[in-house]
Amino acid sequence: MSDAKIIVHGGAGTIRPRLWAAYREGAHVAACIGQQVLNRGGSALEAVIEAVVNMEDNPVFNCGTGSCLTLDGRVECDAFVMTNDMRIGAVSIVTNVKNPVRLARIVMDHTVHHVIAGESTNRLADAHGIEKIDPHALIVDRRRRRWQEMMDRGLEFMVDPELEASDDPADLTDEDAMDTVGACAVDKEGNVAVAGSTGGIMLKYPGRIGDTPMPGAGNYAGPSGAVACTGHGEAIMRVCLAKYCYDLLEQGVPVAEATSRSIAHLTDKVNGFAGLIAIDSAGNRAWATSTPNIPVGVAEGAVDISNGQQPA
């Protein structure tokens, strides 16, 4: 029997001090929901999905309701699930599903494929009773205001990750584009799972697919543990960040060292802006980031940290 534990993150970037409490508390609540699933004997997969569903429904986070907007002002979501037996399900360019992570599990459990994208996600949702929603209901006012401000200032998708890490207050609004949310867990039977969901990065080109639904890039799980990444997806994909971290866990590297070494690798290779969380098969947890902030949640208590590598 294993020590059933979960860890979640709410994105990586810059969070204004007045909003930090909402991100921090949201991550803690999501972790508590996942831990409750584990405590009653639920699987690691069920735990990470329920934690991510909670964040998809929380307009604070950039996933589901509250997602960032594409260049043409729409919401396009990605989501991912994976378990230690190498089962994978992912969806991309999802426009009107309330909880994309639930649809990712449908891909895992009911298709022979790993990733389904675009209009076909609607057909899959209808076939399996996954809740649909008016696409406009996924857009919250502060994201719309942020999108309009960035359009008015002539900003572009590739510029924004650098602005997120800027020290110049003139570069920052009251809230800045956050990326993926994610959760990693191990259950009492020793099973491991990861789940992630995202609205991408503000002003992304319509149809852009980020790191979240790409196995080994934004997320990965196996017998040795699970890893969930967040940040600038283009940088994460270039180094397959989640798999890089997982490989360290598989080699027996302690989880805190694995996360910090992975972020150092990202910075060294592509100077990327990203963070990640990880859990090993024994339930040890850690996180690291190259961005100013990463809201991390564990059930034992709210985590108050920014810009560090700390074991949970």
Active site residues: 180
* Buried/exposed code over 181-192 (b: 16+ C-beta within 10 A; e: otherwise): bbbbbbbbebbb
Using DSSP, state whether 179 is helix, strand or coil.
coil
Q: State the DSSP string of 251-300.
A: TT--HHHHHHHHHHHHHHHH---EEEEEEETT--EEEEESSSB--EEETT
DSSP 4: -
Fill in the amino acid letter for 255. V
**Alpha-carbon Rg for the chain in angstroms:** 17
- For residues 81 and 197, give the distance between their C-alpha atoms in angstroms, rounded to a whole number: 9
DSSP-based three-state secondary structure for 25: helix
Q: What are phi and psi of 5, to 5 degrees?
A: -145, 160
Size (the chain), residues: 312
In contact, 200 and 233? CB cutoff 8 Å: yes
